[in-house]
Amino acid sequence: MKVLILGGDGFCGWPTTLHMAARGHDVMIIDNLARRAADRELGCDSLTPIASLDHRLEAWKAEGHAPIAFESLDVARDYDSLVAVLRRFQPDAIVHFAEQRAAPFSMRSARHKRYTVDNNVNASHSVLCAMVEACPDAHLVHLGTMGVYGYGRTGGLEIPEGYIDATLSSAGETAQLEMLYPTDAGSIYHMTKTLDQLLFQFYAKNDALKITDLHQGIVWGTVTAETGSEGPFVNRFDYDGDYGTVLNRFLMQAAIGHPLTVHGTGGQTRAFIHIRDTVRCVELAILNPPARGERVRIMNQMTESHRIRDLAGIVSGMTGTPIHFMDNPRKEKAENDLRVSNSGLLHLGLKPTKLSDGLMQEVMDIAIRHSNRCDTSKIVANVKW
């Protein structure tokens, strides 16, 4: 298949690119390297030394693989170039990772809020619009987030995969309706994913585009079969207060002996998935497109739920690192339960990679190897909302 990866230089996009290329697909990347620019703005860097995208792609070709093409363009702004690439490449599938994905970064200032909305919503809308013009039979696979649902605000009710049966009542009359699960975003970043959902719903209905939206939990780990843990294909490892995600942060903090930074009581429960399962889930979604005219296919891309203080307890138990309960910089529920359906991807064949000492050790080993690259002043989250 011809697979176009938007955001193919990023944390999820790069391993997905290699995963699909290694399986014989004809893969092209579009990226504007905005993520690397955000690192420069924040004065931090991936803990792992990641090669430039050009170097990554040269090294891939040098190993005897079919070349992976790269177009440098801004999906949110360079509309005509995007249409031209789609017309030329004629992808079977477009995987859309190309959004600003850090909640704290999105809440830094008015500028960051506006950038995140402009970038994410325009990127998604431009792709949809360009598909109608250039490749209406292609399948769009978008990475959404579990954060569109909020995290378990309906008591013990399991969060379904996108849609919910609702009973509406008005003036004493009732009606049944299947609708998108009501959204409850906790940051401007998460908000953009709820707006994406509405765009997808419209374009599936109006233009019969084939769209899959994968509501992904927090990704942990950094290594897949293709990236390895060092060398030119090594994946990025974010540890800073904006882009670092919680479990990788705890493992990296333990590796350098920094107290584990639990926000508030740590009673927040979140969904998780290992990066090895991310790439597999995206492949499964690509291989199983909905038909034209079908509603947007929504699947929850997660394999397990954990309470943050329990994760800190596991990492502390493994390493003896103390836990620091700090004032929560975020506006979020102090405690929540979370039950999530993930039957869609399990049904397609996903074999979940669960939290294990071995996989956590793998992350810590990488962090230890590159601990000299860590700027400890960037660890504690400093964006408050």
Residues known to be catalytic:
145, 189, 193
Q: Whose CA is closest to 241, among 329, 337, 130?
A: 329
Find which of ligand NAD, ligand USQ, none residue 263 binds, CB within 5 to 8 Å per kind. ligand USQ
How far apart, in Å, are the Cα atoms of 145 and each of 9, 22, 213, 272?
19, 26, 9, 11
- With contacts defined by CB under 6 A, how many residues of the chain interact with ligand NAD? 28
Tell me which residues in 82-111 interact with ligand USQ (CB under 6 A): 101-103
Please choose which of ligand NAD, ligand USQ, none residue 246 contacts, taking the beta carbon within 5 to 8 angstroms, the exact cut-off set by kind.
ligand USQ
Q: Which is nearer to ligand NAD, 68 or 76 (CB)?
A: 76
Distance, CA of 47 to chain centre: 19
DSSP string, 234-263: PPP---STTT--HHHHHHHHHHHTPPEEEE
Supply the minimum distance, in Å, between the C-beta of residue 14 and ligand NAD.
Answer: 8
Backbone phi, then psi, for 267, in 5-degree steps? -80, 0
Smallest separation (angstroms) from ligand NAD to the CB of 69: 15
Between 202 and 385, name the residue whose CB sits nearer to ligand USQ.
385
- Cα separation of 83 and 126, whole Å? 9
Site residues (CB under 6 A) for ligand USQ, limited to 236-265: 245-246, 249, 261-263
CA–CA distance, 65 with 286 (Å, rounded to integer): 21
Residue closer to ligand USQ (CB basis): 56 or 249: 249
**Residue 124 one-letter amino acid:** S
Contact between 125 and ligand NAD (CB under 6 A)?
Answer: no
For 167, the 3-state DSSP assignment is: strand
Residue 261 partner contact from ligand USQ, ligand NAD, none using kind-dependent CB cut-offs of 5 to 8 Å: ligand USQ
What letter represents residue 316's amino acid?
S
Question: With CB under 6 A as the contact rule, which of the stretches 96-104, 152-160, 337-345, 356-364 interacts with ligand NAD?
Answer: 96-104
Please tell me whether residue 76 binds ligand NAD under the rule CB under 6 A.
yes
Among 101, 270, 274, 378, binds ligand NAD (CB under 6 A): 101
Distance in angstroms (rounded) separating the CA atoms of residues 199 and 95? 16
Strand ranges in 316-379 using DSSP code E only, listed in sequence order: 323-326
Query: At closest approach, how far in Å is the CB of 105 from ligand USQ?
Result: 9
Contact 238, 11 (CB under 8 A): yes
Q: Which letter does DSSP use for residue 182 in this model?
A: P
Is 123 among the residues that bind ligand NAD (CB under 6 A)? yes
Least distance CB 286 / ligand NAD (angstroms): 15
Q: Quick check: 15 binds ligand NAD (CB under 6 A)?
A: no
Any contact of residue 159 with ligand NAD (CB under 6 A)? no
Q: Is the dihedral of CA 108, 124, 149, 304 positive or negative?
A: negative
**Beta strand ranges found along the chain (DSSP E):** 2-6, 26-31, 69-72, 93-96, 139-145, 163-170, 173-180, 210-216, 218-220, 260-263, 269-274, 297-301, 304-307, 323-326
53/170 with CB nearer ligand NAD? 53
Q: Binding residues for ligand USQ, per CB under 6 A?
A: 101-103, 145-147, 217-218, 245-246, 249, 261-263, 266, 268, 270-271, 308, 328, 330, 332
Q: Binding residues for ligand NAD, per CB under 6 A?
A: 7, 9-13, 30-35, 74-76, 97-101, 119, 123, 143, 145, 216, 218-219, 245
